[in-house]
Amino acid sequence: MFQSLRHKIILVAAVCASITLLGFVALYWLTLEQHQSLDRHRDLPAVSLKWFSLNNAVHKASLAQKAWIDSGDLKFIKERDLTWAVDIHPAFKQLDLLYKKVRVWEGERSVERRVFYDLRLMILSLENLQKNTSDPKQKLTLEEAQIVWTDKESPLVQNISSQVEIMIRWQTNFARQQESKLRQGLSGLGIWIWVVASVVLLLVLGFLFDYNWKQRDK
């Protein structure tokens, strides 16, 4: 009897130890997932702010170009060039670094690679268009420059803004998807812990019932 009782006690102790180990493993996995999620999304606010800053700078450069066309004052050309040098080019370089850091080109977000580089080409096209329009060698009148701004530059700026909005929307949707996946993982983990705990409880109750039944027979 004592040998059988000892075996059952050892069995229950082993199961309890396994559950404890499983709890530590689950806690470690949960902590690891939380850290990975934070690392993935830590730079998202910075990326969104950079996109907004870049978009505002593009509009600022376009408005400076329009002000030069309307007034003929070269100070607006200097303001435009300063915006490109101080705001637009540095912002795009920082975005490039941030995107490479968080590796958004992997998996389901690989489609952003094409949009990102399309945006780069559009922004470079805008810069070249503005410089060519204001280049004295082109000998464009202000009226001709106005036509270029209306027919080419303004639609290009609007297209850039639309693409920036798409990029920001994708980032927001991706962050929500990752949060949903993390919640589903936590929910599944909770279910497994509940199932295992229930099994352990049934084993312990079965052991106690069997032990009491044998004691009653004696």
- Over the stretch 55-95, which tens digit does the pLDDT of each residue have? 999 999 999 999 999 999 999 999 999 999 999 999 888 88
Burial-class residue 49 by CB neighbours within 10 Å (0-12, 13-18, 19+). Answer: exposed
| Cα separations in angstroms, 6 against 11, 18, 170, 207 | 9, 18, 61, 12
7 pLDDT tier (thresholds 50, 70, 90): low
Domain that holds residue 176: 2-217
Q: Is the pLDDT of residue 38 over 70?
A: no
- Over the stretch 132-171, which tens digit does the pLDDT of each residue have? 999 988 888 889 999 999 999 999 999 999 999 888 887 7
d(CA 207, CA 188): 29
- Over the stretch 164-205, which tens digit does the pLDDT of each residue have? 988 888 777 766 666 666 666 555 555 666 666 666 666 665
| Direct distance between the N- and C-terminal alpha carbons of the chain, in angstroms, rounded to an integer | 11
Q: Which is more confident, 75 or 22?
A: 75
Q: Give the count of domains, the chain.
A: 1
Q: How far is CA 42 from the centre of its chain?
A: 8
Q: Is the pLDDT of residue 213 over 80?
A: no
Residues 6+ apart with CB under 8 A from 55: 160, 161, 164
Q: How far is CA 145 from the centre of its chain?
A: 40
Query: How many other C-beta atoms lie within 10 A of the C-beta of residue 1?
Result: 9
Contact indicator for 164, 61 with CB cutoff of 8 Å? no
206: amino acid identity, one letter: G
27's tokens: 């806690």
Q: Which is more confident, 5 or 65?
A: 65
142's tokens: 């202000």
pLDDT at 2: 44
pLDDT at 1: 47
Q: Is the pLDDT of residue 104 over 60?
A: no
Contact indicator for 173, 10 with CB cutoff of 8 Å? no
pLDDT at 79: 96
